[in-house]
Structure 1
Amino acid sequence: MKIPSTLFSASLCLPDNAMAFELSKEIRAAAPDQAVLETEDYSFDPIGFADAGGCELVVRDEAYGHWKAEWTDNQIETSPRNAVFDVLWQGRRLTLIVAQNQECGRNWIIVGPRIVDCEKFFAAVCRWNTCGDAAITVFDEGYFERDEELLEEIRQSSLSDLALEPGIRRALEEDVLAFFDQREMYASSGLSWKRGVIFYGPPGNGKTQTIRAIVSQARASCIYVRSLWGYRLPPEGAIKRIYQRARETAPCIVVLEDIDTLVRENSRSYFLNELDGVRSLDGVMTIATTNHLDKLDIALKERPSRFDLKIEFPNPEAEMRAAYLGEPLCLTKLSSELATDVVRRTDGMSFAGLQEFVRATTAKHLRVLDLGRALEETLTAMGRPKAEKPKKKKKKSGSK
């Protein structure tokens, strides 16, 4: 197919619907004997598909392409705003055109000798992007994308590996994970099969790790929301796009970490309308986190139909601290008095704080070769000095 050199210049200044129409018209005029398939489906990610080895993409330069560069993970990453590609997939040759519309979405056009070839390629890409690990996506700056680092962390996560209070573990198993097997129970009770969950408590106590373990174990797709702002995409558009994809891939978990900073006042009403709206959220669970439940807007935390389950992740109590520190610090080999003192002086620490305490103590122990001394110096350095024993009052010597 011969690509007109002015393919993009005439259409990009038009409103979205007109732009899509103009592009389609130009392509059909340039290739009247070819089949054309157009899509804006969020599941269609041919760039990611090619990166995963699913097909080969070769950039064509007849039409001026527009690419953007970003500095990510200490390297330059480029992605197309407007471009034309040759596609080689399973022995088939196709042409692929992408144009970014004004709402920060992308118009994709697949051109091939037969419509069945275009449809099969479209289906293969979407199937790859919505099955298995690929069903876990990140929404950031207006786009859905894969995050291989996040996927690897999720693959390695399990509730059984986390130090959790028994009550928290029970709630996660019975009220969160079990939800995805309860469709018929909800239907027989006349209830919408949806749920909102808030994890709250001071930072460093496993809210993030717990979410990853749930995503790993749940039989559901997942959308991790990192931002609700995108280039020319307002928060209301982002919220609509997120929950539209959640409906399409349900059962689905929508993750909103630090919801108090993510959903701000100017977007809160749109978010609440999406949760309360007439469009079904069957099979969708929204999991939000916050370090400060008391500061969360009452419209988010009080209405049961929005977030009906709240699970607290507090700083660990003495028994949990003793269990967590016991093996790595060999507390059982210490005197009962010293072990009790260590547990007492770590009161108020989060699990992250305890982890840092273990790391620092272990490093110091390797240097000083005295565990008791290493514990004492580390606790003192962390601002937890040993309580001074009250001084005994001296008896006044009286005159006979």
Structure 2
Amino acid sequence: MLPSTFISEALGDNPSALAVKAESILLGHVGDQAVVPCRNLEVEEFARLGHCELEPLAEPRPSLFRYWGGEDYDRLFSSYEQVVWQVTWNDHSIHVVHLQWEAGCGGESRDWVVAESAEIADAFILDVERKTHAPGNAILVFSNGRWNRSHSLYEATRSASFDDLILADGMKDAIRNDFQQFLEAEDRYTRLGIAWRRGALMIGPPGNGKTHCARALVKELDISSLYVQSLSHQYYTPEQMWKQVFDRARGLRPCVLVLEDLDSLVNDENRSFFLNQLDGFEQNHGMIVLATTNHAERIDSAIIDRPSRFDRKYHFNLPALEERSQYLADWQQRLSGECGWTAEQVDPIAAITEAFSFAYLKELVVSSLMKWMHESSTDFAAVMTEQAGILQRQMKTELSEPASHNGRRRRRGERV
């Protein structure tokens, strides 16, 4: 038989040896308790959700750093790099050892659960994984090969409203009614032998409300929500990433899976696998796939032109004169008491903003207001006219810039 130190000796100075050595030391100090290793155990989130009591042991002294939470929170937070947690869970006393270290390819980490038995440790790990990966009052975000609960994205979604969205030709009502009726019709779909799934693609240039509409829709549907931020990973292939994405979504049905900037997520290498996942009949029962793109021309026709994959395509075009007037009128009502902007001055401004996206219209209002505050004796509509000219020149400059290496020009205001 090989000696107990074989693996650590064989690994030598390889960073992987750290976990082996740490576990060996741990086993020598826990007596007859069970030690179960795992990765990425979100025990702090588990405690924040109220499922256990958590306290860091004073010895061994934890390694932590303090950081500012930003203007929204304006307080200091702690992040633990090395720590032993004392956990009280379901009347069990458990320890969780967390270590992280730098490796040649980036950071590595490992967790060990120390409990009375392996069965208790496994039950604890399973409970943590289930409850920290369920959406709850959060949105699941996929990035770097794993899902994380995002409270900030959830709050941004809860603040989104269709009332703040200006769309032409009754499209707002069409979108809302389409998805609400879909969710209410499961029995009818099943009775008729039709797959109860839905796909929609929001198409159009940046800054015209696709993201805001998606967030407002997610809020209104009020079902589990998942958002794919990135499929890039150092070790795993995009196909493996897509499998993780769809497997997790299927476990939460009914749910809405948001794929923002679809053209950047699907490429020649992973297109076939993506289509296979999207085409699942029974597997995707109760799944809504909501995708957006600024560049429909970059998406393969097998995705964009086959109705069974994206049943609806909603075009978020640059606002016409009527939509620009309505958008500016909303701002005028909010600002008239402050800067003297009159309702009669709205339409002339709207008329000189052809080709402005909603993002550019917002920039027009904000930049004009900032300039007017320093020159308050000037008529606000005159300031807006001047700023509109500046923004038009800026737009022309951006359109004349050469494309980047991936064929995409740099643009401001890509999302609203």
CA separation of 1:266/1:162 partners in 2, compared to 1, >3 Å: closer, same or farther?
A: same
Which structure has the larger Rg over C-alpha atoms? 1
Is 1:247 aligned to residue 250 of structure 2? yes
1:57 and 1:269 map into 2 onto residues whose CA distance is 48
Q: Partner residue of 1:397?
A: none
2:239 and 2:218 map into 1 onto residues whose CA distance is 25
Q: Partner residue of 1:347?
A: 354
What pairs with 1:222-261 in structure 2 (closer than 5 Å)? Answer: 222-261=225-264
Q: Partner residue of 2:288?
A: 285
Q: Partner residue of 1:196?
A: 199
1:312 and 1:204 map into 2 onto residues whose CA distance is 13
Cα deviation, residue 369, structure 1: 3.3
1:376 and 1:128 map into 2 onto residues whose CA distance is 51
Query: Which range moves more in the overlay, 265-274 or 366-375?
Result: 366-375
Q: Partner residue of 1:383?
A: 392
Q: Secondary structure at the match of 1:271?
A: helix
Is 1:151 aligned to residue 145 of structure 2? no
Q: Secondary structure at the match of 1:285?
A: strand
Which amino acid in structure 1 is aligned with residue 272 of structure 2? S
Q: Partner residue of 2:17?
A: none
Question: Residues 50 and 57 of structure 1 are in contact (CA less than 8 Å); yes or no, is this contact kept in structure 2?
Answer: no
Query: Which range moves more in the overlay, 188-197 or 203-212?
Result: 188-197
Structure 2, gaps ≥5 residues long: 13-21, 101-106, 394-416
1:263 and 1:149 map into 2 onto residues whose CA distance is 26
Query: Which range moves more in the overlay, 175-184 or 202-211?
Result: 175-184
1:39 and 1:252 map into 2 onto residues whose CA distance is 28
Q: CA RMSD in A?
A: 4.5
Cα deviation, residue 208, structure 1: 0.9
Which amino acid in structure 2 is aligned with residue 146 of structure 1? R
Which amino acid in structure 1 is aligned with residue 262 of structure 2? I
Q: Partner residue of 1:323?
A: 326
Question: Residues 89 and 121 of structure 1 are in contact (CA less than 8 Å); yes or no, is this contact kept in structure 2?
Answer: no
Cα deviation, residue 187, structure 1: 0.9
CA separation of 1:73/1:365 partners in 2, compared to 1, >3 Å: closer, same or farther?
A: closer
Q: Secondary structure at the match of 2:198?
A: strand
Structure 1, gaps ≥5 residues long: 14-22, 385-400
CA separation of 1:372/1:226 partners in 2, compared to 1, >3 Å: closer, same or farther?
A: closer
2:99 and 2:286 map into 1 onto residues whose CA distance is 33
Question: Residues 35 and 118 of structure 1 are in contact (CA less than 8 Å); yes or no, is this contact kept in structure 2?
Answer: no
2:383 and 2:49 map into 1 onto residues whose CA distance is 48
Cα deviation, residue 132, structure 1: 2.3
Q: Partner residue of 1:370?
A: 379
2:167 maps to which of 164, 168, 184 = 164
Cα deviation, residue 96, structure 1: 3.6
TM-score (norm 2): 0.71
Question: Residues 195 and 284 of structure 1 are in contact (CA less than 8 Å); yes or no, is this contact kept in structure 2?
Answer: yes
TM-score (norm 1): 0.74
Q: Partner residue of 2:123?
A: 119
What pairs with 1:80-99 in structure 2 (closer than 5 Å)? Answer: 85-90=84-89, 92-96=92-96
Question: Residues 59 and 86 of structure 1 are in contact (CA less than 8 Å); yes or no, is this contact kept in structure 2?
Answer: yes
Cα deviation, residue 270, structure 1: 1.6
1:106 and 1:302 map into 2 onto residues whose CA distance is 44
CA separation of 1:141/1:122 partners in 2, compared to 1, >3 Å: closer, same or farther?
A: same
Question: Residues 36 and 118 of structure 1 are in contact (CA less than 8 Å); yes or no, is this contact kept in structure 2?
Answer: no
2:268 maps to which of 265, 273, 277 = 265
Q: Partner residue of 2:141?
A: 138
Which amino acid in structure 1 is aligned with residue 323 of structure 2? M
Which amino acid in structure 2 is aligned with residue 382 of structure 1? L
Is 1:219 aligned to residue 222 of structure 2? yes
CA separation of 1:157/1:52 partners in 2, compared to 1, >3 Å: closer, same or farther?
A: same
Q: Secondary structure at the match of 2:314?
A: strand
Which amino acid in structure 1 is aligned with residue 287 of structure 2? V
2:28 and 2:282 map into 1 onto residues whose CA distance is 39
2:238 and 2:188 map into 1 onto residues whose CA distance is 34
Question: Residues 112 and 118 of structure 1 are in contact (CA less than 8 Å); yes or no, is this contact kept in structure 2?
Answer: no
1:213 and 1:276 map into 2 onto residues whose CA distance is 26
1:112 and 1:335 map into 2 onto residues whose CA distance is 70
Q: Secondary structure at the match of 1:231?
A: coil
Q: Secondary structure at the match of 1:382?
A: helix
State the number of aligned residues.
363
2:253 and 2:341 map into 1 onto residues whose CA distance is 51
Is 1:49 aligned to residue 58 of structure 2? no
CA separation of 1:120/1:187 partners in 2, compared to 1, >3 Å: closer, same or farther?
A: same
Cα deviation, residue 182, structure 1: 2.4
CA separation of 1:182/1:278 partners in 2, compared to 1, >3 Å: closer, same or farther?
A: closer
Which amino acid in structure 1 is aligned with residue 42 of structure 2? D
Identity %: 30
Question: Residues 200 and 311 of structure 1 are in contact (CA less than 8 Å); yes or no, is this contact kept in structure 2?
Answer: yes
1:138 and 1:204 map into 2 onto residues whose CA distance is 22
Cα deviation, residue 59, structure 1: 7.5
2:293 and 2:255 map into 1 onto residues whose CA distance is 21
2:318 and 2:239 map into 1 onto residues whose CA distance is 36
Question: Residues 189 and 196 of structure 2 are in contact (CA less than 8 Å); yes or no, is this contact kept in structure 1?
Answer: yes
Q: Partner residue of 2:368?
A: 361
CA separation of 1:250/1:364 partners in 2, compared to 1, >3 Å: closer, same or farther?
A: same
1:89 and 1:177 map into 2 onto residues whose CA distance is 42
